[in-house]
Chain A
Amino acid sequence: MMTDTPAHPGLISLQGIGKSYQLAGQHLSILNDVCLSIARGDSCGILGASGSGKSTLLNILGLLDLPDGGQYRFAGHDIFSASPDELAAIRNQQIGFVFQSFNLLPRLSALDNVALPLSYRGVSRHESVEQALRVLEQVGLAERAHHRPADLSGGQRQRVAIARALVGKPSVILADEPTGNLDSSTAQDIMDLLLALNREQQVTLIIVTHDAHIAERLERKILVRNGVVHEAGRP
């Protein structure tokens, strides 16, 4: 497995990351000694069976969960020494999340959902709505801006979610089974959209999937098996 030199850590660099839980008095080791580095503009698939630890890895990559030990640098920040507020700010400005179950807020319109990340940056309401509308246009949903998520189809909801991930101009999009709840042709559209963003805007793309067809379309394939990470096609 290749490791970058400390001088060029890339966008994301994990060294010896471990994570374990205490569950019902049992010690469960989820991730063991994970070393991984991802450069700006990469597109990676994280593959593995259920329970292999790939979701935990994604949560750690997305700063939603803290590892027990190791070293993690994200865009130059040492994650272990960052305060919760700083982690929130990094999530807000550098990471865009796309979830399997979309995770839109049902009380807000599509437009307000997309504008939400900007509100945590001190952008005024007027300006954030303008930017959100522009991104919704980009994903082809401008005419649905004022619909509630409940009034949208699955594919449209995922487009709104992608627009929400994009609105903050992140350096990484983390997608957890983004096509898991969609039919195959809609899934194809969503993947096309994500890959186009990776290609045209150099957004780093990290997709958790168990679908080999999706993994085929990504440059790197990272396999997680029993808490250990291998990269396919690399020594």
Chain B
Amino acid sequence: MSLRVEQSLSQLLHEAFVSLRTLGKRSILALLGIVIGSSSVVALINIGHNAAMDAALIFKDMGTDTLIAQFPPKGDSRVPMRSRLDLDAVRQAVPGIAHIGALSLFSGPIVFHGRSVNANFVGSTPDIPAALRLVLREGRYLSTFDANETYGVIGDQIAQALGAPGEPLKLGDRVRINDYLFLVVGILHNQPRAMLMPVQANESLFIPADGMRRIYASPQIGNVIIRAAPGQDMERIARDAAAALQRQLTEHTVDITVPQQMIDGMTRQSRTFAYLLLALGAISLVGGGVGVMNVMLMNVSERRREIGIRMALGARQRDIRNLFLLEAITLTAVGALCGAVLGMTAAWLYAWLSGWAFALAVAALPLGVGSTLLVGLFFGIYPAVSASRLQPVEALRDE
């Protein structure tokens, strides 16, 4: 006679099925906690993922190889910023710069065939399109030879707004700013919004920097945009460029933003946020786990007689333990599945309401469902072990 036998898998599956079928109302209430916990874990991981994707999208068009310099005045100085800088000197002083351009900004109405639209006038140096990654749809960009010409390159949205059905704005048309007519030599492609950039190309008319004086008495350089050659240390270029620019300025300081630093900051921030949300999910999971433990303890005390009968029929301690553990896990598995569906729905709704693209986070489902099952296992062990410790004769005795 062999004394060592294990229950076969098919029998275990059958037991799990029976316990699932006979889940009472009380179990459903206990499930509520589990469902909330697991759905919040699933939803939060996914929402965090979508938020990160959205943040990454902001930087995607700007690229991490771009630096933006600003020139806040020193102390109380009222001296206006200079209208031109020697960018070639900076380029020579700092190796690794691929493109460097200066912008001076002004805004006002722009008129074409009687239609008027507000636009940004961007006085730009010839290297600006490369530094800002502008893409032309038609025509050409301003060159060094255009410095004294009334030429302009127009952004997509402005071009659309100035044109009319059947009468689009074309190359060679002239648009009026104040009393000057500017000849359109180029029309830009629609550019995605670049959050960190000082100018939005779609809403701008680019004109030669020297020509700014025609529409604005004292143009000032607002920003210098630097694009580094591939594989450069951005921190070093920022430091060296700041030093080189500072040499040309007496009343202003140079403030250079390194996008990577901002990305890092945002990532850190969103990670802290995600940890916080995850902790909330974990707390509700633990609450749900206590609910499961409660139901299982009631279950064990209500089914003392059944435990006794099973022991009389030859169930070993570990069979009884497995029976109740399996029930606890079946219970939490149902909760985890409901939670996964609910959590995904919540994440989708959140993305929809925030206007984000919904993407499934790879880790959300395994982490959410897995952690829920672990909670079920953890809180199911105590009731299951206490059931298995019953002596058969005590369990069978009438109350």
Contact = CB atoms under 8 A, between A and B. Distances in A.
Interface of A: 59, 62, 64-65, 84-86, 88-94, 97, 103, 105, 107-108, 112, 116-117, 119-126, 128, 164, 168
Majority secondary structure of chain B interface residues (helix, strand, loop or mixed): helix
Contacts of A90: 3
Given A64-B396, A91-B313, A122 B6 contact: yes
B319 A120 contact: yes
Contacts of B15: 119
A151 to B, nearest CB: 16
Contacts of A86: 3
Contacts of A97: 312-313
B13 interface: yes
B315 A122 contact: no
B223 interface: no
Given A103-B309, A105-B306, A120 B315 contact: yes
Contacts of B2: 89
Contacts of B362: none
B396 A107 contact: no
Nearest to B309: A103
A1 B6 CA distance: 42
B316 A85 contact: yes
Contacts, number: 93
Interface in B367-399: 391-393, 396
A139 to B, nearest CB: 17
B8 A91 contact: no
19 contacts: A59-B393, A64-B396, A65-B392, A84-B316, A85-B3, A85-B316, A88-B314, A89-B1, A89-B2, A92-B314, A93-B1, A94-B1, A107-B22, A117-B314, A120-B313, A120-B316, A120-B319, A122-B7, A122-B8
B305 interface: yes
Nearest to B396: A64
Contact of B314 (A59, A65, A103, A120): A120
Interface string B290-323: 0000000000000001100111111111110000
B5 interface: yes
B5 A103 contact: no
Contacts of B11: 119, 123-125, 128
B25 interface: no
Given A108-B18, A124-B11, A126-B10, A91 B391 contact: no
A124 B2 CA distance: 17
Contacts of A93: 1, 314
